[in-house]
């Protein structure tokens, strides 16, 4: 073979090798290359000291993930004032001991949580390419195995973490009064934004609050709109995996919800730009975590490292 045919064969061979190399990197290296993001949010009232929030999301933990367990435990050295867990903690029927070991030092810190779809049911085998669809949910009814989520929430609550599943609460942290509002997983259509009443209303309750936080797993637009209308200071979410498969210099291809890919991870504003950017007046701060794990049936990440985030809230 010579001429154009040889050139085409070499090109095809080169592309195949590049594809194989990218897949090996995504499945063997980046998916385990955990990183800590440190983000500053100017949202506190004037004169207040910084407040540190550790945001954990989408661990998708399975038994035997020793490196992930140890890495999550080591985050306790950050000495956060508050831990926010936005769900999808596990991905296996037998993952409870591993998860509790990973979170054990964090359960001693004030915290709040919501659940995601993979806290309720175990993941099912599926084509990893489904993650590239605008909505990766199955259209036909499926019967996945139920996970022991009631025991999980009981363990979290017994440790003192606040359950924000379609509810509100008030928490005192580092001498500050925080009001919190949360929803169940919008990806499963379990969300029901809780009405404000009495002292759990951040704006009309008798106890003045220093900060009003919104917590949800999947950042669907309807939930973000409700958080914005509730006048939260900062909405905290997960679910997107940051797109999981991203293009260098471009970013996420999907979010697995109706959020735009521009906001697939990181600190943003809603519904407009960030409040500290032109045109952002009236927007709500929002942080979306790319999370620490993946479904065991799609164990790849590319240009989107698994992460936890230390949010340092400072005076605006």
Q: What is the DSSP string of 63-87?
A: TT-HHHHHHHHHGGGG--SEEEE-S
Q: Would you say the pTM of this structure is higher than 0.85?
A: yes
Cα 30 to Cα 131: distance, rounded to the nearest angstrom: 17
| Residues 262 and 314 sit within 8 Å (Cβ to Cβ) | no
- DSSP class of residue 95 equals -
Cα 85 to Cα 45: distance, rounded to the nearest angstrom: 24
Per-residue pLDDT of the chain (316 residues; tens, 9 = 90+): 555 555 555 544 554 454 456 556 766 689 999 999 999 999 999 999 999 999 999 999 999 899 999 999 999 999 999 999 999 999 999 999 999 999 999 999 999 999 999 999 999 886 655 656 666 655 555 678 999 999 999 999 999 999 999 999 999 999 999 999 999 999 999 999 999 876 666 656 667 899 999 999 999 999 999 999 999 999 999 999 999 999 998 999 999 999 999 999 999 999 999 999 999 999 999 999 999 999 999 999 999 999 999 999 999 9
C-alpha distances in angstroms, 90 versus 98, 99, 313?
A: 9, 7, 28
CA 171 from centre of chain: 21
Tally Cβ neighbours within 10 Å of residue 43. Answer: 22
């Amino acid at each position: 073979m010579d001429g154009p045919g040889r050139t085409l064969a070499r090109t095809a061979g080169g592309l195949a090798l590049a594809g194989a190399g990218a897949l090996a990197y995504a499945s063997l290296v980046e998916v385990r290359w955990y990183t800590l993001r440190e983000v500053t949010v100017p949202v506190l009232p004037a004169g207040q000291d910084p407040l540190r929030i550790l945001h954990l999301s989408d661990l998708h933990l399975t038994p035997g993930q020793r490196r992930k367990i140890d890495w999550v435990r080591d985050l306790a050295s950050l000495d956060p004032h508050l831990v926010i867990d936005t769900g999808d903690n596990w991905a296996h029927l037998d993952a409870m001991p591993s998860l509790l070991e990973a979170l054990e030092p964090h359960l001693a810190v004030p915290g709040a949580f919501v659940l995601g779809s993979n806290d309720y049911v175990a993941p099912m085998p599926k084509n990893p390419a489904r993650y590239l669809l605008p909505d990766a949910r199955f259209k036909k009814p499926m019967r996945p195995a139920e996970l022991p989520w009631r025991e999980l929430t009981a363990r979290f609550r017994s440790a003192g973490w606040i359950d924000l599943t379609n509810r509100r609460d008030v928490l005192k942290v580092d001498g500050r009064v925080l009001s919190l509002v949360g929803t169940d997983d919008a990806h499963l259509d379990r969300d029901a934004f809780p009405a404000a009443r009495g002292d759990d209303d951040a704006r009309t309750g008798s106890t003045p609050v220093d900060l009003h936080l919104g917590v949800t797993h999947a950042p669907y637009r309807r939930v973000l709109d409700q958080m914005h209308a509730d006048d939260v200071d900062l909405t905290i979410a997960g679910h997107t995996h940051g797109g999981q498969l991203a293009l260098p210099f471009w970013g996420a291809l999907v979010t697995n919800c109706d959020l735009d890919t521009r906001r697939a991870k990181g600190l943003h504003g809603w519904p407009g730009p960030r409040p500290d950017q032109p045109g952002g007046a009236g927007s709500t701060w929002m942080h979306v975590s790319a999370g620490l794990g993946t479904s065991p049936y799609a164990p790849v990440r590319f240009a989107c490292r698994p992460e936890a985030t230390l949010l340092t809230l400072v005076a605006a």
